Amino acid sequence: MKQASFEMNRRSLLAGLAALIGASAVPDGAWAQEAGAQDAAATERYFAPPLYAVLEEVCDIIIPETDTPGARAAGVPQVMDGLMRNWASAERRRQFEGLLLEIDTAARAAGGAGLMSLPKARRVEVVAAFDAAQMRQHDHPYRRFKDLILTAYYLSEVGATQELRYELVPGSFQGGIPVGPDTRAWAV
């Protein structure tokens, strides 16, 4: 009697899981495999190109590239834009759009031009000043905005595996672990 061979790749496994769970539990676009689908998503941004450029720059200033990739490399601006397009309430959209406009207005007040027209060093100064002023206010929407940027970054593959230390299955409990200057925090 011949034994039937059974091979399963990741794609067919995920498709089977979707059938088990129910396709309605999977977010729209999760199954997009082609580059064309990704290009279409890029053209369907929530933020207009000038505001999206400000969003990218603010994300990059909040989490810049160091010895690890920054927010831009981790795809945080795309996540933020996708959340606004697909998930956020109308009020939250207005708040975050308003914040980006406020940052651009602050840049115009500081340098006579929009944020993206300023030199990089001046952009950092403008965003840092805006950040300092807004973080003093406990109920300002900027706190949620910045928290969402940080959350999107640390939940990204880059943030969880390069910025933080990640082990799929950590070892046994060790009460005392030596900490050095190159030790990173744990992702999970």
Residue 36 placed within a domain: no
Residue 128 placed within a domain: yes
pLDDT at 168: 65
Residue 14 placed within a domain: no
Tell me the pLDDT band of 11, cut-offs 50, 70 and 90: low
The tally of domains found in the chain comes to: 1
Res 172 pLDDT > 80: no
Distance of alpha carbon 16 from alpha carbon 10, whole angstroms: 10
Residue 19 placed within a domain: no
pLDDT at 188: 64
Residue 41 placed within a domain: no
Residue 52 placed within a domain: yes
Tell me the pLDDT band of 154, cut-offs 50, 70 and 90: very high
Q: Give the predicted TM-score (pTM) of the model.
A: 0.69
pLDDT at 42: 52
Q: How far is CA 45 from CA 53, 61, 98, 122, 175, in A?
A: 12, 21, 17, 27, 48
Chain mean pLDDT for the chain: 81
* CB atoms closer than 10 angstroms to residue 31: 13
Res 131 pLDDT > 70: yes
Q: How far is CA 98 from CA 2, 92, 102, 145, in A?
A: 67, 10, 6, 11
Tell me the pLDDT band of 23, cut-offs 50, 70 and 90: very low
Where in the sequence is the domain holding 86, given as residue range(s)? 47-163
Q: What is the DSSP string of the chain?
A: -PPPP----HHHHHHHHHHHH-GGGSPTTTT--SHHHHHHHHHT-SS-HHHHHHHHHHHHHHS--SSS--TTTTTHHHHHHHHHHHT--HHHHHHHHHHHHHHHHHHHHHHSS-GGGS-HHHHHHHHHHHHHHHHTSTT-HHHHHHHHHHHHHHTSHHIIIIISB--SS--S--S-----TT---B--
Residue 39 placed within a domain: no
Tell me the pLDDT band of 98, cut-offs 50, 70 and 90: very high
> For residue 34, which amino acid is it?
E
Residue 138 placed within a domain: yes
pLDDT at 3: 44
Tell me the pLDDT band of 12, cut-offs 50, 70 and 90: low
**What does the pLDDT average to over 103-130?**
93
Tell me the pLDDT band of 89, cut-offs 50, 70 and 90: very high
